[in-house]
Structure 1
Amino acid sequence: MNSRKATAALALATALALGASACSSSSNSKSSDNGGKKSGGSSAAAAKDAALTGIVNASSTKGGTVTMENSDVPDSLDPGNTYYGWVQNFSRLYARTLLTFKPAAGKDGLTVVPDLATGLGQASADAKTWTYHIRPGLKYDDGTPITTKDIKYAIERSNFAPEALSNGPTYFKAYLQGGDKYQGPYKDKNPNGIASIATPDDTTIVFHLAKPFADFDYLATFSQTAPVPQAKDTGADYVKHIVSSGPYKFASYEDGVGADLVRNPQWQQSSDPVRKALPNEIKIKFKVNANTIDNNLIAGNDTVDSGGTGVQSNTQAKVIGPKYAKNTDDSYAGATSYLAINQNVAPFNNIDCRKAIEYAIDKTSVQTAIGGPVKGDVATTLLPPTVSGYTKFDEYPSAGGKGDVAKAKASLTACGKAGGFTTNLTARNDRPAEMAEATAIQNSLKQVGITVNIKSYPSGKYFSNFAGVPSYVHQHQLGLMLTAWGADWPTGYGFLDQIVDGSAIKPSGGNNIQELNDPAINKALSDAIANTDATARTQAWGQIDKMVLDTATVVPLIYRKNLLYRPDSATNVTVTQAYLGMYDYLLLSSSK
């Protein structure tokens, strides 16, 4: 570490030592050779769950084409306009960030290492000032130099321009000095941008925060820190002509169809200790039927399902059989599937009506609908057991997670709806498992007199156009909304902040879709992330989780597992818990 001062260093080291799962830091050491030698886990022969702790089909051979498919479209491949975990993983192929998670097997993959930066952040004693230095001589795919001014601009456009880029998180906006006043580069024409990000020279960047933030090195792994040259930025249309800072560049991109990535001749292995860049080409297709993707994987026509959420329920029985089981990895996703109850949609403005939902849902039927225990465990908390700060509790107990009809009906009587009511439930129509969850919930609620109309939407626009848009939700009376969440980084704050803090409610693209804005919860989150006592901070996350459940605005359903399938042609395959238990796309290559 460059700095061992203050709470920031302590928080970082403690979180990493716990080895928790993350969606989105540790030593300055160089990464291991990932091109076929041991890297954070042993090289492993193809066997069931082998990629959970080792690298399957390890190879150092350059060449071949990695072929990916996805059942819908991404929110965006623009590194500054995405919140999907798989895009964060995928974007590392063409967008380098200040720091990144080490491409390695097992818990070693949770280690944060320098990427563009020469080391981890240098923190002030109060954890309010963070300094990074980037490697000299870096270039974009067009040969122009990469500077820290480009990193500053990338953060400004991604955090302060919701009118153009609405999908990503806004941690930088929330914590930078003056973040509540700066209007973003498209509206504020001051060429110096926000004053709290300083770039005294082309290789130095300094962040001045309004309040302590002990986990700041985790923010430096976000794709939002991938540099963007202001002269090439076209706002929401930048996705059509992304300028690459990584080993691959876009040979083609067609909105809603797919993309083709080829080698970036300006990328230099000597300036990138993280990536081996073995494949010659990476192809990705969108809007492919989920069951078709499974069949293509089994036939060896694809390398990976880029969504990383595992095979579909009707494929599961086939791949867990004796012929294909050796090609599967049942990975904990570090994520929880849950039902959001929007408290601004009647009758859920009454807590007892919300409690009726909490008690009525048969979670074991939801588990069965998605494929049984192989797809996850019944949940009682938002924080999954793999995230630092998890505390076991159950605020709405029932026998074996099967629901409590008597308590549900009593809650309905208490909220003045003894005869039940009608409401709408949303789910993503290109995710068969989520649609199955919706049907199971519909059946559960019917038992207590609640009629549910299922409204389905495409996942690529689920948050930007529908469930994440409060005005749309209110207008269409979307009282219940299915979703799933994994930690932005492996601590309770990294999991909870964007889904329960009131500041995370946005006009569109928000993930706090229950619109929870509880002052006590907001304050507890802010106080905990500034706490200099790492043990107390970790305990706080479980306490906050319980505070959220007591509002009855979320129903935890399943601690998710991903039943992944890897074809024999896939090489250097390992699961990364840093990105929701999917395969690590920086390591992945192909023998085809």
Structure 2
Amino acid sequence: MTTQRTSGRRKQAMAAAFVVAGLLTTAACGGGGSDDGGSKSGAAGFDAANNKVAQASLAKKGGTLRFGAAQDADSWDTTRGYYGFMWNFSRYYSRQLVTNKPAPGKEGATLTPDLATGLAKVTDDGKTYTYTLRDGITWEDGKPITSKDLKYGIERIWAQDVLSGGPTYLKDVLDPKGEYKGPYKDTTADHLGLKAIDTPDDKTIVFHLPKANSDFEEMLALTSASPVRQDMDTKSKYGLKPFSSGPYKFQSYNPGKDLTLVRNTNWKQASDPVRKAYPDKITVKFFSNANELDQRLINGDLDLDINQTGMSPQGRQIALKQHKANLDNPTSGYIRYAVFPQSVKPFDNIHCRLAVIYGADHVSLQTARGGPLAGGEIGTNMLPPSVAGGEGQKYDPYQLAGANKNGNAAKAKEELKACGQPNGFKTTIAVRNNKPVEVATAQSLQASLKKVGINVDIDQYDGSQTTGIIGSPSNVQKKGYGIIIMGWGPDFPSVQGFGLPLWDSKYIQQSGNNNYALINDKTIDGLFDSYVNTLDDAGKTKIATEINHKVMEGGYYLPFVFEKFINWRSDNLANVYTTDGYSGMYDFVNLGLKNSK
């Protein structure tokens, strides 16, 4: 998943001095004070909700939960949404057969039954998954949710000509040959012609996989596997007012301005083991500037940021000094990195790639990302610590966080000599122009590489056109992009949910490519094939670690950081915790308020 999933804020230019002055003026109004130990009446304390639950017993029924945002969702349609905060927020109005467990840290990345009575009954050597639906599950108009509604909701993924944008894992696994054309082109009487899914009765749904995939149930936990009722499907307009299967429903939505959810009175707590539904109302206010959003958070006008990508530098500075008890500092699940396309010389030679890895100043790169608190730990490999098989800084094959953290010029020059470029070479870094922190990272890399004879130009391309610019291998080669700066996080917490689009040769595409390095390694491909056929967790974890090691041994990537960020929670929030299920975000689904008036 690209950084789009937990998409960064649109940091528009503004009079920064005015904003900081505003933050200073209002700093005493809404925060928990400088005491980072917390209190029952105020904020819980610094990092009190980081991988643990803060003030659960203080949550009360009622009140209005107030989100702010500097960016709207890509879509609120459960089929089309791909931003991480959308997946998190959508649990208020959509349900799936299974979902992430409402629990902090790693436990939040495990699956629990939702619409289904239990996890799947898996038969036929991992190729058949059977579920039974719960009693009492209803739509917002009180009609029962049926297995056919689930099948139809999943079938919508095939309608990419109308509903593009969301994840397509289920389409790729259930119909690898692309034989089904989607419900809008389905000529069967009920438009439920996808042969891979059976609905023998309204409470039973059976999935038939042509080939086993050990992460299939993780894919069913994605928002794209939500039910949609045919008579309420407005196709491309569905995201303006989705029809609710959860405890809240859309009251109003003005794109880019505001969104309001109210209680779905036909939702029954007895039918839902996941959601507590504490607030009476949930509002989202969209701002055009991230600094204004942070000011409103500190004022106490809002409870939290829906985007969950960290406070802006100005707001973060004030918050850390005066309201530390309101802050958490989670690891996001993202890795920020540079990648070397092998189609651009001299990066077809591993020693030239290693010269960049050794020539980089990794502390400087970390500082450019925001430092240890707001940027993260120095990245040493390409598998997030939150993913099974990830080893964090324990696996540091190039000593990026150790002996070589400030770069190793002598080693870089050895590698340059080995790759036939003893006097260095020239290349271009491609970086998105709408990501200031990425531009700063490129400048840091440029400065350190110059010291070892590698001279780089920086090309700031239109960040909204990523797919056709760096996602086009022919364009990358034409432009001479030897280094691409990017970031990636897991769609679901496994090596398949993170690394398959990046490292498997089958995912090299002529447009929309994410295997920027053009890795075509039979060993890596074979490990992925083994992974999807391995059903035991220990075996999957072992293979995931092996894949990461093979990727790092190839020198295809320079990891910058295992990303961290600073997020705000108001004094009034209760039952707050970060979860690996949503890449270190607060789990929205069971947030409550201490004072519901």
Indicate the TM-score class for this superposition, using the shorter chain for normalisation: 0.7 to 0.9
The alpha carbon displacement at 1:132 in A equals: 1.0
Aligned to 1:393: 395
Aligned to 1:240: 240
The answer as to 2:200 corresponding to 1:200 is yes
The 1:548/1:325 distance shift into structure 2, 3 A limit, reads: same
C-alpha offsets along residues 481-510 of structure 1, whole Å, 9 cap, x if unaligned?
333333333333333224323344567666
The 1:142/1:560 distance shift into structure 2, 3 A limit, reads: same
Contact map agreement 1:562 1:581 (CA 8 A) in 2: no
Aligned to 2:564: 561
The answer as to 2:449 corresponding to 1:445 is yes
The answer as to 2:218 corresponding to 1:218 is yes
CA distance in 2, matches of 1:421, 1:471: 20
TM-score w.r.t. structure 1 length? 0.83
CA distance in 1, matches of 2:234, 2:475: 27
The alpha carbon displacement at 1:316 in A equals: 3.4
The count of aligned residue pairs is 547
Give the counterpart of 1:46 among 36, 44, 58: 44
The alpha carbon displacement at 1:353 in A equals: 4.4
C-alpha offsets along residues 274-319 of structure 1, whole Å, 9 cap, x if unaligned?
1122222222244532232222222212211112122233443433
Contact map agreement 1:99 1:116 (CA 8 A) in 2: yes
The 1:377/1:145 distance shift into structure 2, 3 A limit, reads: same
CA distance in 2, matches of 1:116, 1:498: 30
Aligned to 2:116: 117
The 1:352/1:428 distance shift into structure 2, 3 A limit, reads: same
CA distance in 2, matches of 1:303, 1:189: 48
The alpha carbon displacement at 1:138 in A equals: 2.9
Aligned to 2:15: none
The alpha carbon displacement at 1:404 in A equals: 3.1
| SS of match in other structure, 2:496 | helix
The alpha carbon displacement at 1:223 in A equals: 0.6
Aligned to 1:15: none
Is 104-113 or 505-514 further displaced after alignment? Answer: 505-514
The 1:61/1:390 distance shift into structure 2, 3 A limit, reads: closer
The 1:432/1:77 distance shift into structure 2, 3 A limit, reads: farther
TM-score w.r.t. structure 2 length? 0.82
The 1:424/1:107 distance shift into structure 2, 3 A limit, reads: closer
Aligned to 2:582: 579
CA distance in 2, matches of 1:233, 1:415: 60
The 1:261/1:107 distance shift into structure 2, 3 A limit, reads: same
CA distance in 1, matches of 2:465, 2:87: 18
- The residue identity in structure 2 corresponding to 1:110 is A
CA distance in 2, matches of 1:374, 1:393: 21
The alpha carbon displacement at 1:60 in A equals: 3.9
Aligned to 1:535: 538
The answer as to 2:550 corresponding to 1:547 is yes
Contact map agreement 1:113 1:119 (CA 8 A) in 2: yes
C-alpha offsets along residues 87-122 of structure 1, whole Å, 9 cap, x if unaligned?
211111111111112223345433422111111111
The answer as to 2:419 corresponding to 1:421 is no
Aligned to 1:270: 270
Contact map agreement 2:101 2:107 (CA 8 A) in 1: yes
- Identity within the alignment, %: 40
The alpha carbon displacement at 1:125 in A equals: 5.2
The 1:179/1:139 distance shift into structure 2, 3 A limit, reads: farther
Aligned to 1:325: 324
CA distance in 2, matches of 1:257, 1:345: 43
CA distance in 2, matches of 1:193, 1:416: 59
Contact map agreement 1:309 1:562 (CA 8 A) in 2: yes
The 1:329/1:559 distance shift into structure 2, 3 A limit, reads: same
The alpha carbon displacement at 1:425 in A equals: 1.8
CA distance in 2, matches of 1:524, 1:232: 43
Aligned to 1:296: 296
Contact map agreement 1:166 1:509 (CA 8 A) in 2: no
The 1:110/1:364 distance shift into structure 2, 3 A limit, reads: same
The answer as to 2:464 corresponding to 1:455 is no
The 1:204/1:507 distance shift into structure 2, 3 A limit, reads: farther
Aligned to 1:6: none
The alpha carbon displacement at 1:526 in A equals: 1.5
CA distance in 1, matches of 2:71, 2:517: 24
The 1:81/1:503 distance shift into structure 2, 3 A limit, reads: farther
- The residue identity in structure 2 corresponding to 1:358 is I
The alpha carbon displacement at 1:250 in A equals: 1.9
The answer as to 2:179 corresponding to 1:174 is no
Contact map agreement 1:313 1:433 (CA 8 A) in 2: no
CA distance in 1, matches of 2:480, 2:76: 31
CA distance in 1, matches of 2:257, 2:351: 45
CA distance in 1, matches of 2:172, 2:422: 40
CA distance in 2, matches of 1:257, 1:445: 44
C-alpha offsets along residues 365-384 of structure 1, whole Å, 9 cap, x if unaligned?
12112332223111111113
| SS of match in other structure, 2:130 | strand
Aligned to 1:153: 152
The alpha carbon displacement at 1:66 in A equals: 2.1
Is 238-247 or 412-421 further displaced after alignment? Answer: 412-421
The 1:533/1:150 distance shift into structure 2, 3 A limit, reads: closer
Contact map agreement 2:79 2:223 (CA 8 A) in 1: yes
Contact map agreement 2:329 2:566 (CA 8 A) in 1: yes
The 1:102/1:229 distance shift into structure 2, 3 A limit, reads: same
Is 51-60 or 404-413 further displaced after alignment? Answer: 404-413
- The residue identity in structure 2 corresponding to 1:214 is S
Contact map agreement 1:150 1:227 (CA 8 A) in 2: yes
Give the counterpart of 2:160 among 136, 139, 162: 162
Unaligned runs of 5+ in 2: 7-38
CA distance in 2, matches of 1:74, 1:215: 26
- The residue identity in structure 2 corresponding to 1:439 is Q
The alpha carbon displacement at 1:221 in A equals: 1.3
CA distance in 1, matches of 2:510, 2:242: 26
| SS of match in other structure, 2:307 | coil
- The residue identity in structure 2 corresponding to 1:390 is G
Contact map agreement 1:46 1:57 (CA 8 A) in 2: no
CA distance in 2, matches of 1:525, 1:386: 19
The 1:395/1:324 distance shift into structure 2, 3 A limit, reads: same
Is 46-55 or 414-423 further displaced after alignment? Answer: 414-423
Aligned to 1:373: 372
Unaligned runs of 5+ in 1: 1-21, 24-42
The 1:331/1:153 distance shift into structure 2, 3 A limit, reads: same
Contact map agreement 1:81 1:166 (CA 8 A) in 2: yes
The alpha carbon displacement at 1:576 in A equals: 1.5
Aligned to 1:184: 182
- The residue identity in structure 1 corresponding to 2:448 is S
Decide which structure has the larger Cα Rg and report it. Answer: 2
The 1:420/1:234 distance shift into structure 2, 3 A limit, reads: farther
- The residue identity in structure 1 corresponding to 2:129 is W
CA distance in 1, matches of 2:478, 2:232: 38
The 1:51/1:544 distance shift into structure 2, 3 A limit, reads: same
Is 189-198 or 474-483 further displaced after alignment? Answer: 474-483
CA distance in 2, matches of 1:81, 1:68: 22
